[in-house]
Amino acid sequence: MDDLDAAVAVVYAQPPSGFVSARTALVKELRAARRRADAAKVAALRRPTKHAWAIGEAVRRAPEAATAFFDAIARLAEPGPDLRQRTNDLRGATAALVELVEGLDPGEATAALLAIAADPDATEATRLGRLSEVPGSGGFGALPLVPEPTGSTGREAHEAARAAVDGSADDDHPTAASLAERDREEERARARAERLAALEAERERALAVESAAAEQAGSAQAAVDDAQAELVRATNALAEARRAAAEAAERLRSAEREPP
């Protein structure tokens, strides 16, 4: 495995439900190759959110539209007098890519792509196929594309665009350690839910066994009651038979004592 970025992109290409297992497999592969530093980096990767995965999947499925989007972002960051045209180019490239995003409504997809366009780190992560979270995700409104900055170039243009997208030029970016901790918390929550489900299933089985045992006990008790009633009837019949036999014996003895 020569290209770690490509391997990580494969992990992020998995549906969110398969991300953890794919990441674990890559970590094991890196450790087996004695690439412990790379293994630690991969282990800290965070599973993509719904928005991030949907955007990443569209970029993977439509490389030409994605390239047009990234090129428009790059041109917007360049100095020059034609900012309005470059802004329109980015708007058009964004709209074209929005049509290819599945799982999000057009408003969500547009807002997510604009947020990515306004953040150089998110732009690069999306280009590499390893976006884990859309900047400022968690509820987008109707957003302007970008302001028309005066004299801003390069990263300053990105910062101005970011201010237009989410109203802030100094978003906090989570560290690898915090992302790893969040991922572990998600794993713990899933494990707890699985344990609770297993315990609930065990309780249901125990209740079913208890119900069956109670039914069997009831049947056995009914059989015991029937047997006891039969025993009483048999005992009474035996007593009646013995009484009749005693009376017959007494009559026989009386007859024998009578003179001929």
Which of residues 71 and 83 earns the better pLDDT score? 71
DSSP state of 47: P
Is the distance from CB of 9 to CB of 45 less than 8 angstroms?
A: no
Rounded to whole angstroms, the Cα distance separating 136 from 110 reads 13
Whether 141 contacts 6, CB under 8 Å: no
- Quote the tokens at residue 240: 């009646």
Distance between CA atoms of 15 and 57, rounded to whole angstroms? Answer: 9
Largest CA distance in the chain: 157
Higher pLDDT, 205 or 138: 205
pLDDT band at 54 (very low <50, low <70, confident <90, very high): very high
Q: What's the Cα-to-Cα distance from 217 to each of 211, 214, 223, rounded to whole Å?
A: 10, 5, 10
Q: What global pTM score does this model have?
A: 0.52
Structure-model confidence comparison of residues 187 and 93, the more confident one: 93
Q: Is the pLDDT of residue 169 over 50?
A: no
Tokens of 190: 């899933």
